[in-house]
Structure 1
Amino acid sequence: MDSSRRVVPVPIEHPTVPHVDAIVDLPSSAWASLVLLHGAGGSATHPWMEGAARGLFGEGVAVLRASFPNAQSGKRQPERAPSAIATWHAVMDAAAGLLPHVPWAGGKSFGGRMAAAAVAEGMPASGLLYLGYPLHPPGKPERLREEHLRDLPLPQRFLQGTNDPFQSGDALERLVGELPDARIDWVAGGDHSFLVAGGDRDPERVAEALGPRIAALLR
């Protein structure tokens, strides 16, 4: 499968950067499109994100990745929610001219959570994909982050490690069961980045290997 990669600046309103870079990997015969934003402290070019895009490309999924403004400017602190949501809107608007389908909106951890918040504010998408949804802060299961999810009319798909400290007990399984169109695929032994004790510790290879499972959720 041939690939066409483009890097396109997406203008945004932000005090430190005038734009974020959208990295587009477009297979020649893509059957689905996904906009993928990173987790807190990451970036569009983090090894995990590189691996995920490559794995999905191998499955025939067109992927547009972008960094939140703080990451674009080299800062590691998470983007504040209003800025992250505004970035999602800008990137999805740009995706309409860069991807062959109305894309799914998805993200690693924080990126997926902010995608849901943006959809709740009217951002169009084919569905929502959560790669390690941060249901609660580690060690604080009483602080559930279920905001927006119950009221969203779109398909919602979850890929989650069973040893992810951002979920515990059966809370996430129960939530998915209560949503109108939702599915979850559990990665046995996986942590928040889907690394498994005794397994491959390279985040790029681990993320790439998840490509078939993510594609199956999109189908």
Structure 2
Amino acid sequence: MISGADGDELVTLQKDIHIPFGDKIIESTISTQKKAAPTGGVILTHGAGGDMNTAELPQVANHLSELGFACARFTCKGLNLKYRVKVFKAVVEHFMKTEKWSWFIIGGRSMGARAAVSTANELFSDDDEPGKPDIKGVLCLSYPLHPPKDVNKLRDDILHSCKLPMFFVSGTEDVQCEKVLMENTLKNKTNVTMHWLEGGDHGLHVKGRDKLMTLGEICEVVGGWCKTMRHASSCITDDQQSVSVYTSDDSKTGKKRDKTTKLQDGSRRKRRKEKKD
């Protein structure tokens, strides 16, 4: 629990929302503050085997609400990626038309992260097309770059296609996201941040580390990125080309190991060359 600007204690409220989808209902929950009148927010979904209350999603949603975000979660138990994208688009449309949200950060964990990136790709428009949602960025928790221990079947096409800012949180021991492969996949992408959870597995659990500490780290980095994205334009230019890579505190030594890599675009390199000439 944190306090607002006026010193009042902020109270997180949970509101269940039932979203029509053909002859079905999409179960959703929104976390927000009592005094908030959201004009936009974050939408998250789960992986292949869970629901909107699985793993760290409720805690991330509550943390974001304490930072002033409205954060919705929804359940979609289908295992077909195209179906999950259709559901995700229906949820975004509902929050645009019914809740009157004008901007979004969308995301998910594992398969839900794949669905979020694919949804962003389908909904993104370069030219502020009327009726298109303003998606600020995409949050990916434990993105499954490849099947477990099978690095020959990369799920990277949608990542290469995405023009929006992306934020990834993955464990260094994730058997579905080999670290070197992931960093190579993202190295030429624009405006991407990668946070590595030292020793973390696909469930973002770190052996020998307190679960609340790990969860606190995840919430902190996600909240920081979302605050940056809230007032950002969804349009990305070549001059903004950068990839940042961070590694979490080592759970045994307590030492922070991080690195940041910035990739300059071709036009900047060209300008430097012209100055030398």
Quickly name the TM-score band, shorter chain normalised.
0.7 to 0.9
2-structure distance, mates of 1:165, 1:135: 9
Partner SS for 1:195: coil
Distance change in 2, residues 1:181/1:31 (3 Å): farther
TM-score when normalising by structure 1:
0.85
In the alignment, structure 2 segments of 5+ residues that lack a partner are 1-9, 125-132, 229-277
- 2:51 paired with 1:26: no
String of CA shifts for 1:118-153, please: whole Å, max 9, x gaps: 222226422111011100011101111012211222
Identity %: 24
Q: Is the 8 A contact 2:172 2:179 kept in 1?
A: no
Check if 1:83 corresponds to 2:83.
yes
Kept in 2, the 8 Å contact 1:55–1:210? The answer is: no
Structure 1 distance, partners of 2:55, 2:170, is 19
Q: Determine the structure 2 residue equivalent to 1:213.
A: 221
Structure 1 distance, partners of 2:39, 2:203, is 26
1:183 partner letter: T
Where do 5+ consecutive residues of structure 1 fail to align?
71-77
CA–CA distance in structure 1, aligned partners of residues 112 and 28 of structure 2: 14
**1:5 Cα deviation from its structure 2 partner:** 2.0
SS in 2 for 1:44: coil
Query: How many residue pairs get matched?
Result: 206
Scaled by the length of structure 2, the TM-score of the pair is 0.68
Contact 1:53 1:208 in 2 (8 A): no
Deviation at 1:66, TM superposition (A): 0.2
Write the mapping of 1:45-194 to structure 2, written as runs, cut at 5 A. 45-68=53-76, 70=77, 78-96=78-96, 97-98=98-99, 102-122=103-123, 124=133, 125-194=135-204
- Secondary structure, counterpart of 1:42 in structure 2: coil
**AA at the equivalent of 1:86:** K
Distance 2:14 2:50 in 1: 21
Matched residue type, 1:4: L
Distance 1:31 1:200, change over 3 A: farther
Q: CA deviation at 1:79?
A: 2.2
Contact 1:55 1:207 in 2 (8 A): no
2:12–2:66 contact (8 Å) kept in structure 1 = no
**Distance apart, 1:106 and its partner CA:** 0.3
C-alpha distance in structure 2 between counterparts of 1:149 and 1:179, whole Å: 8
Give secondary structure in 2 for the equivalent of 1:119: helix
SS at match of 1:90: helix
**Structure whose alpha-carbon radius of gyration is higher:** 2
Once the two structures are overlaid, the 10-residue window that deviates more, 167-176 or 92-101, is 92-101
2:21 is aligned to: 12
Q: Is the 8 Å Cα contact of residues 56 and 208 (structure 1) preserved in structure 2?
A: no
Contact 2:105 2:137 in 1 (8 A): yes
Check if 1:36 corresponds to 2:44.
yes
